[in-house]
Amino acid sequence: MSDAVRPTLAASAAIFRDDGRVLLASRTKAPSDGLFSLPGGRVETGESLRDAAIREVMEEIGIAIEILGFADHAEIIEHDAAGVPLVHYVVCCFAARWISGEPQTGPEAGEIIWADDALLANLKTTLRLPQIVRQARAIYLAR
């Protein structure tokens, strides 16, 4: 495997408001272009996973959050027709609560919604998103 397809570490956050809805954003870039996901992105060298999630949420959608705990991880692996890996992301997903700001769309976040369970069940989402949101909600409710 070449260096170009080594796993990339990323962090994201399932962000909840007082009413229990979770913030989701449609992706505007590959991988998973057009699917709803949790806001987040790549971890920078020397940056903690928590700090990366906080920074990425601010950069992507412009809101401040408080990390409550680690919810789960997700892996995004895509191959070409010959089975050669094209991308491999390991995304560490945190439970978080909204502190301030109103989410804004941008280059990496298309449509932004606050979703309840019924809406989440009917969206096209990234792999394992409903399960990760359930785990994150349990952390949020326990706080």
Cross-strand partners of 113: 24
Please count the other Cβ atoms lying within 10 Å of the Cβ belonging to residue 92.
Answer: 20
Within 8 A by CB and 6+ apart from 142, the residues are none
The fraction of the chain above a pLDDT of 90, given in percent, is: 80
Alpha carbon distance 96, 82 (integer Å): 39
**Beta carbons of 63 and 98 less than 8 angstroms apart:** yes
**Beta carbons of 103 and 96 less than 8 angstroms apart:** no
**Beta carbons of 26 and 109 less than 8 angstroms apart:** yes
Alpha carbon distance 62, 68 (integer Å): 19
Q: Quick one: pLDDT band at residue 4, thresholds 50, 70, 90?
A: low
Eight-class DSSP state of 3: G
Q: Is 3.90.79.10 the CATH classification of the domain at 3-142?
A: yes
Alpha helices in the chain (DSSP H): 49-61, 117-121, 129-142
**Beta carbons of 111 and 34 less than 8 angstroms apart:** no
Question: For the chain, which residues make up each domain, given as ranges?
Answer: 3-142
Of 19, 88, 20, 8, the residue nearest 56 (C-alpha): 8
Tell me the per-residue pLDDT of 51-109, one tens digit each, with 9 for 90 and over: 999 999 999 999 999 999 999 999 999 899 999 999 899 999 999 999 999 999 998 88
Let me know if 43 is exposed, middle or buried by CB neighbors in 10 A (0-12, 13-18, 19+): buried
Tell me the per-residue pLDDT of 29-38, one tens digit each, with 9 for 90 and over: 776 778 999 9
